[in-house]
Structure 1
Amino acid sequence: MSTAVADCPQGWCTGGACDGARLDSLLTPDARWLWEQLAARADKSGEPSMTGGTTMITAPAESGQRAAVLGLVGSRILLAGERRRIRLEELTLRLRQHGAHLTPGAVAAHAAGRALGSTAAERARQSARTATLRKLRARLTGALPDHARLRPSDEAWEELHRTGRVARILQHPAPEQLLKAAAEVLRLLPPQGRIDRRMLAFKAAGDPHSLDAGTDLAGLVLAEAAAAGLTAAGTPPRTAWGCLGVDLDRLGGGLLSLGVHPDGWLVPSRFPLVLPRATLAEVSWPAPPHADGWVFVTENPSVTTAAIELNPAIPVRLLCTVGTPSAAELDALARLADSGWNIAVRADFDASGIQHMRAALRVVPTAHPWRMNADDYVRSLHPDPFQPTPLDTERLPETGWDPAVHTAMRARGRPAYEEALLDDLLDDIRRGHPHPHPRPNP
């Protein structure tokens, strides 16, 4: 009659491997390094007993620690830092002198104070979970209508995996619902025309804010667009949504206008006016009164506020993007240039400001960088800033209009702001052209 093997009282080892074993002589402080290495190996392999095969161990520097395991890993002396391959079957036989059912994994589990194999088990669970979610996504995307604006492919899942989006899906408290909501957003995207983001969010998920910036749902939809090649890496969210036919607050944002207004509009002098994106998409601009007519474009409303106080007899023509310019705003600037106006554009000397300049000069290649050279940057630096903000030089875009700007900003490592040059900017606005006065565009 066989004798039943008791389970481990702590639940750390399997099959009652520790039943009746004498562990004290094995679990000494000097021998602990061996069991820690074996525990790490068991976690990765998913084999909690470790009774077969081989494994590598690395000997510690302390001679007493090496001597403590010589009878277990062989009689040859271990050298400090030596890597030695040991046969787990032989180690198991030596351990059986301390317990009839003892295994290397059981001793390592008691040394670690936990059950082993957790890493491999968790990896297996994650793999199975990922496969299940991939099948669900394939089924949901396969059910999208033929006219869908975006139909994610199964191959694009690998791109989502590479960029870390799949990991974020797995971390979501309800990943299946997240995938279903994303599929509903894709189903509701207009094949042609436009839709308001809040309305789309409400129709797809019952919450007008479910597609706001930073939400998991918005991140997944935009990641699908990027994986499908509809948007490029690093595309600003507003632009990316625009590529999907989704508008973000068409009546918000836009250009803050002072002295330059759409054709046919009658606006009192020095009356600041916000031209929302919906308006900008439809208006036309008047031609300049003469060939050397300039419109100044700035990033910060503080410049507009100061320009309001200029002599009313001075014709001020100023547009402010109030931060990052949208595609609609840049298109409006391009049409302004097409109407015959010379465009002088500037922004803050920071990563986003340089990106604004690059976008504006790409869409309006005839625009003139307005006080945006290296000397202007150096003059804009505050002499004694309180808790100065460091410049993220690794993400600083190139400054094609003047490479010296990029060099100077990387060297100084600090951002600089439009307000520092306010007096100079107002002088240019008074004169009606940027300094130095460039030759008008042909």
Structure 2
Amino acid sequence: MTCSLCADACSGADLAPLLAPELAWLWQAIAAAADRRGDEALTDGPAVTVSIPASPTQRAAAAGLISGQPLASGQRRRIDLGHLTTALTARGPALTPGAVAAHACGRRLAARARARTEHAASTDRLRTQLETTAACLPAHVRELVSPTSAFTRLRSSGWIARILNQPDPAALLAQAFQVAGRLPEPGHRIDRRTLVPGDPHALDGGPLPALVLALTQHSGTVPRLGWERLGVDFDDLIGGLIVTGVTPRGWHVPPGATLTLPPRELTNIAWAPPPKPDAWVFVTENPSVLAAASTQPSEDDRTPTPPRVICTAGTPSSAECAAIGALHHAGWRVAVRADFDQAGLAHMRALLAAAPQAVPWRMSAADYLATAPQGTLDLRLEASDAPWDVHLVPAMKARSAYTYEEDLLPALLADIAAGVPDTGLP
């Protein structure tokens, strides 16, 4: 069995005399030098300088190991590593100064340097595996993964470190490539549950599905949206839109009831028309807004009007955006909003692209400034991130803070109760 302290340099050696307590000071100095230099053997290189102890017993114990004049108390002496190595071979043919110091200190030396070396070797193996395997992918997947730049991209996003921290990095990367290799060609689709044969739940969560999305340059998006763009059918029963006051055509629900329309029901949805022409429906990002709107008391309890609110519960998928766009065809006027952060701005752009007749609802620079504190965030925003108001991005960069829908809740509830949105725009 390999020695865990010195990789068997101690094999066949008589270490007992060398590990006497009187020599502990010497081996501690050798161990410190080995750690600094990243050399756990320390058989050669610059001499190691030590302070000679005051104890005659300690000096006598080291006399045969340190060449030159007799040792004097308090003296600074340079230890010739070649001489010390030769002296140690009398006790064991493979002994090194570092090996004896490791046994004396009870630990393996140069741990940091060894860890750096091992990490570099592991990283190189991962790079080779990634580039070799990526080059063998089907052409339509190879275009997404990009064998020549995949390693650099994954390392810059932190994924190489994440893979190396897994129990079996090579196995995880190999499995991710197997999944990627089964992705359908453009124009075709596949059920996500069949991408890992024999394990329909392998992509439900954990590092594997996240790594597949990162490999195919869909990291940082909503997983459902990422899979959808890859031609993979996600579970169509979970997620969707939370609605109150508006329903699909032909549905009958109690007034004011809140329900979730799963992705399956949003495909080619036809909404019931509004109760009167040009009635507004309010689209919000956070469930807290819908929850507050559906529980606030009506000003007229005799003829309460249920709020008309749709909640995306986060960044909407393309199917959810399309369903919101379909409200216009049923005769609804649509007001949309989200949080004042990068995800919220992207959310707004997606909604306005799918529903061009919709209007931004309290998403102006004035609305932001009314609630935003002075922050310290480095907001990396472009003017094109908020095309509905040219003043919004400059305002957000000046305040260096995000704000959220809950910060505007009283004003949002007032708009919903009144049935008319305040766009805050000229």
AA at the equivalent of 2:196: A
Query: Against the structure 1 CA distance between its residues 241 and 64, is the aligned structure 2 distance closer, same or farther, given a 3 Å change threshold?
Result: farther
Q: Contact between 1:35 and 1:111, CA under 8 Å: does it hold in 2?
A: no
User: Counterparts in 2 of 1:160-175, with a 5 A limit?
Assistant: 160-175=154-169
Q: Does 1:113 align with 2:100?
A: no
Aligned mate of 2:32, from 5, 27, 37: 37
Per-residue CA deviations over 1:171-191 (Å, capped at 9, x if unaligned) read 444445434432332232221
Aligned mate of 2:349, from 362, 365, 376: 362
CA distance in 2, matches of 1:427, 1:277: 30
In structure 1, the residue corresponding to 2:196 is in which secondary structure? helix
CA distance in 2, matches of 1:186, 1:367: 39
AA at the equivalent of 2:33: L
Q: Does 1:374 align with 2:360?
A: no
Aligned mate of 1:211, from 177, 187, 203: 203
Query: Against the structure 1 CA distance between its residues 140 and 403, is the aligned structure 2 distance closer, same or farther, given a 3 Å change threshold?
Result: closer
User: Counterparts in 2 of 1:93-172, with a 5 A limit?
Assistant: 103-116=96-109, 140-141=133-134, 143-146=136-139, 148=141, 152-155=145-148, 156-172=150-166
Q: Does 1:425 align with 2:405?
A: no
In structure 2, what is the equivalent of residue 27 of structure 1? Answer: 23
In structure 2, what is the equivalent of residue 256 of structure 1? Answer: 242
In structure 2, the residue corresponding to 1:27 is in which secondary structure? helix
Q: Contact between 1:296 and 1:317, CA under 8 Å: does it hold in 2?
A: yes
Q: Contact between 1:12 and 1:109, CA under 8 Å: does it hold in 2?
A: no
Q: Does 1:51 align with 2:61?
A: no
Q: Does 1:194 align with 2:189?
A: yes
In structure 1, the residue corresponding to 2:23 is in which secondary structure? coil
Q: How much has 1:133 moved relative to structure 2?
A: 5.6
In structure 1, the residue corresponding to 2:181 is in which secondary structure? helix
AA at the equivalent of 1:27: L
In structure 2, the residue corresponding to 1:274 is in which secondary structure? strand
CA distance in 2, matches of 1:161, 1:178: 16
In structure 1, the residue corresponding to 2:43 is in which secondary structure? coil
CA distance in 1, matches of 2:208, 2:423: 49
In structure 2, what is the equivalent of residue 297 of structure 1? Answer: 283
With 361-370 and 331-340 compared, the bigger mean Cα shift is at 331-340
Query: Against the structure 1 CA distance between its residues 360 and 28, is the aligned structure 2 distance closer, same or farther, given a 3 Å change threshold?
Result: closer
Q: Contact between 2:43 and 2:85, CA under 8 Å: does it hold in 1?
A: yes
Per-residue CA deviations over 1:348-373 (Å, capped at 9, x if unaligned) read 6xxxx734421232221763242752
Q: Contact between 1:152 and 1:224, CA under 8 Å: does it hold in 2?
A: yes
With 157-166 and 104-113 compared, the bigger mean Cα shift is at 157-166
In structure 1, what is the equivalent of residue 72 of structure 2? Answer: none
Pairwise CA RMSD: 5.1
With 178-187 and 215-224 compared, the bigger mean Cα shift is at 178-187
CA distance in 2, matches of 1:64, 1:321: 77
Q: How much has 1:137 moved relative to structure 2?
A: 5.2
Query: Against the structure 1 CA distance between its residues 34 and 193, is the aligned structure 2 distance closer, same or farther, given a 3 Å change threshold?
Result: same
Per-residue CA deviations over 1:237-273 (Å, capped at 9, x if unaligned) read 33322221224332322122233445x5565653434
Query: Against the structure 1 CA distance between its residues 276 and 183, is the aligned structure 2 distance closer, same or farther, given a 3 Å change threshold?
Result: same
Q: Contact between 1:13 and 1:105, CA under 8 Å: does it hold in 2?
A: no
Q: Contact between 2:243 and 2:259, CA under 8 Å: does it hold in 1?
A: yes
Query: Against the structure 1 CA distance between its residues 241 and 86, is the aligned structure 2 distance closer, same or farther, given a 3 Å change threshold?
Result: farther
Q: Point out where structure 1 has 5 or more consecutive residues left out of the alignment.
A: 1-6, 76-81, 379-391
Q: Contact between 2:34 and 2:109, CA under 8 Å: does it hold in 1?
A: yes
